[in-house]
Amino acid sequence: MKLTGNLIIGAHDVPATEGTMKALNPATNTLIEPDFALGGAAQVHQAATLADEAFDSYSHTSLAVRAAFLDSIADNLEAVREALAARAALETGLPQAQLEGEATRAATQFRQFAEVVRKGRFLQLAIDPAQPDRQPRPRMDHRLQKMAIGPVAIFGASNFPIAYSVAGGDTASALAAGATVILKAHNAHPGASEIQARAIQKAVQDHGLHEGVFSMVRGIGNTIGEALVDHPLVKAVTFTGSEQGGMALYRRAQLRPDPIPVFTEMTSINPTFILPAALAERGVQIGDGFIERMLVNVGQACLRPALLIAIKGAGLEALRDAMVKRVAEASARTMLTPGIHASYLKGLAAMENAGARRVAEGSAASADFDGQSALLEVDGQRFLSEAVLSQEVFGPSALLVTVEDEAQLLAVARSLEGQLSAALHLEENDLPLARRLLPVLERRTGRIVVNAFAHPQEVTYATVHGGPFPATSDSRFTSVGMTSIERFLRPVAYQGFPDALLPEALRDFNPLKLPRLVDGQ
């Protein structure tokens, strides 16, 4: 596919208004053709105006039409999978085969959300029939359904250039809800972003939808992001990235004349607790598996396990040896961007300055932005006294915390901030301690895993990818899985309506055959 480098605003290719940029190949530290257009507030306004014009018609499309549209996006992504993965590999340094798998996952998510739309449960239909003879006063007929919140601004992520980017789960779930989308492409992979945007744009055109259903903008610095959050026609924002960036957007959105929700996914170290019986029985297996999952994506995955807590005793030395061995065998690999690489080195230095001891490292870097793997260790008392040791270091490193006893293990758990996930490795004899630990973790994460690791994660109806601050800005929602659609919905009640005026899903005799709650049943 030939890349134009233009912004994609509705059906229009828009050239640069604020200069241009080139993609960087981080593996070779060289720039890649072509030039990519940068836009500003004027282009945001153009996209937001189109999105608002498209919203009424798109949000009222039939479920069948919307589902078919999502399936078409999946078809289009599959058609460009190899070209998309090849370009993404150039822009990220990640293996092409891995990125082809990511493209397949992105297409699968669109198909999954097409099924969500067809089934209609996301509408949460409820009917409370009229009770004209009720005393002391009659009850009118009340009917409720969920509808899309409005045009949505989605910030593409850097670490998964397809599955969390232009054609990622945020876009799929927002379009499934009936929201129109303005996508801010991440500047780390502009070519991959354009290929994905073309796949969505083609589906919009093929289904005869309003061009404003989808647009993609790009800019430099904070200006274009601020313009998106500030625009009065934008009614919700999603963001995946750093706590600093996410909270800046969140605070800005709350200062609008009409504050809007900002759904952020920001930071997590995904703690793993090894309880004593499991440590004694499976320490080698757990340590090796932990490091294997930590190294995924060169440690640049939001669910990578980065903190392991174990009580001193039988199996600890074997656990440590297994972790040291796996880290020492790890080759340095290209990190996604120069900025991420620099932050990784800074984070490692901060941990060592706070008292963590480097006990293993992988092969040395051979290129400018290679990430060298590292294992650090600290005792429980030091961990509890140094807040920096519980901060995320985004990259291929992990911290082993050795605690004295069960009380100190529970104290470490209570000291943690909100997380996307937590894991427990246990045997039957560990159940009493696990029961004490579980309520502590339930308050601090949206997902708890037993005898496995937080990564990978299935995309299902029961998936939760969220948690208390600072993992996210709203722990009531997930950003992955079928229920992530709920971020983009709000309830509307229809009282005393004639049947002909009601939304089709709420009419008498249930013409769409959708699940509905009628008079509480």
Hey, CA dihedral for 473, 477, 480, 486, is it positive or negative? Answer: negative
Q: What is the pLDDT of residue 1?
A: 75
Residue 103: alpha-carbon gap to chain centroid? 15
Q: What is the pLDDT of residue 221?
A: 83
Q: Return the CATH fold of 9-19+26-124+149-266+473-490.
A: Aldehyde Dehydrogenase; Chain A, domain 1 (3.40.605)
Does the pTM exceed 0.85? yes
Q: What is the pLDDT of residue 260?
A: 98
Instruction: Tell me which residues of the chain have a pLDDT lower than 50.
Output: none
Give residues with Cβ within 8 angstroms of 435, minimum separation 6: none
Q: What is the pLDDT of residues 231-272, one digit of tens each?
A: 999 999 999 999 999 999 999 999 999 999 999 999 999 999
Measured between alpha carbons, how far is 260 from 34 in angstroms, rounded to an integer?
36
Give residues with Cβ within 8 angstroms of 216, minimum separation 6: 7, 8, 9, 166, 182, 183, 184, 185, 193, 194, 197
Q: What is the pLDDT of residues 152-181, one digit of tens each?
A: 999 999 888 998 899 999 999 999 999 999
Q: Which two tokens stand for residue 110?
A: 């669109």
> How do the domains of the chain map onto residue ranges?
9-19+26-124+149-266+473-490, 272-450
Architecture of domain 272-450: 3-Layer(aba) Sandwich (3.40)
Q: What is the pLDDT of residue 383?
A: 98
Q: What is the pLDDT of residue 455?
A: 85
Q: What is the pLDDT of residue 456?
A: 85
Going across the sheet that includes 152-155, the strands are 12-14, 7-9, 214-217, 181-184, 152-155, 236-240, 262-265
Q: What is the pLDDT of residue 457?
A: 85
> Does the fold of domain 272-450 match that of domain 9-19+26-124+149-266+473-490?
no
Catalytic residues: 265, 302
